[in-house]
Amino acid sequence: MIRPLRVCLAGLCLLLVLLASPLPANDDLYVGQGPLDPETPDLDAALLQALDEVIVRLTGRVDNSIRVQLGLGLSQARSLVQSQQRVQVPLVDENGEIGSAIRLQVEFNSSALDQRLAEAALPRLGRERPDLLLWIAIEDEQGVRLAENAVLDALLAEQARRLGLDVLRPLGDALDLGDVNPTDIRGGFLSVSDSALQRYQADVPVMLDLRRIQPDLWSASWFWRIDGLDRSINQRADSMASLVTSGMEALLASLASRYAVRPDSLGSRRQGIVVAPIDDEVQYAEVLRYLEELSMVESVRVLAARERSIDFELILSSGGLVDALTLGGLLEVQQTLPDGRLSLTFAR
């Protein structure tokens, strides 16, 4: 049995110096794709579409005019590029067939793009996003059942990538079927999935009732719950693809309305936090990395180390810290101390 190493104050202070260098953030949200015609590829158009994709992820608004509002023409878009490459990706066509397509994949400068959004006072949805647990019931010529469809799975995966959504699908095993059945999904009875949320460590239950009304007509009813508030939309379209796209765009808009934050109008601000107990250097490294990767955190500084407690100072570019901590799952807020610092501990 390996016992956790308890670090004395002097050893911990030395550790703070060794581990205080910045750690790289996960910037997948800033990687977009634009379609390319294999015969006559238009790299400029693909670049702008890739940027539009990233802006949609960050703002939750599927409106290409936002790029114009930000003053991002072709030359400005090129200045934001950090890397680009051609990639081959799976694609579902209008007939529901799974094929492939060539796209230009572009990584944009996250700091510069965030600065553009801040200057325009646009709320931004950061990396801390709730996990969506998605249940799907489908009705077609085969009857009503839980959806197991490769085409549908491909559609969902592509839209989750495009919109920056973290979507989990239940396994559909005995435990799942004991809690949720197709009738529950068609009725939008979200509460029946409460135990599944704990099982899959997800945050937001989502249900999709998908029905084929005619050979060329589908209907979809989407249900989801954020912070105890239920929302739903009903749609009709000539394909599953259209319904998946518009429904997941509505989910993103709903998440943005709840979690997107505006930059502080007065500039960066300081927030003190106290994290305890921290028992060893592994926990310390985990906490430091986690704090540095939070979307609204510009920098992290260690102020003091006392026994198993460490005081940090965060420089924040926006609000939303408590929400980000809640969604992150590593740390939880115990209380706000009289001096305004947040007291944090490891989430159970």
Which domains occur in the chain, in start order? 28-119 (no CATH), 131-259 (3.40.50.10070), 263-346 (3.30.70)
Residues 258-286: tens digit of each pLDDT: 999 887 755 678 999 999 999 999 999 99
Which residues are within 8 A (CB) of 26 and not within 5 positions of it... i.e. 6 or more apart?
A: 127, 293
pLDDT band for position 25 (50/70/90)? very low
Is pLDDT of 220 > 50? yes
Q: Is 290 helix (H, G, I), strand (E, B) or coil?
A: helix
pLDDT band for position 94 (50/70/90)? low
* pTM score of the predicted model: 0.83
pLDDT band for position 95 (50/70/90)? low
pLDDT at position 64 is 66
Which residues are within 8 A (CB) of 132 and not within 5 positions of it... i.e. 6 or more apart?
A: 165, 166, 167, 168, 202, 203, 204, 206, 224, 251
* DSSP β-bridge partners for residue 212: 218
Q: How far apart are CA 4 and CA 279, in angstroms?
A: 7
Q: How far apart are CA 54 and CA 161, in angstroms?
A: 10
Cα–Cα distance list, 163 to 118, 166, 250, 251, 253 (Å): 20, 9, 10, 10, 10
Q: Where are the alpha helices (DSSP H) in 39-171?
A: 43-59, 65-69, 74-79, 110-119, 150-163
Q: Is 122 helix (H, G, I), strand (E, B) or coil?
A: coil
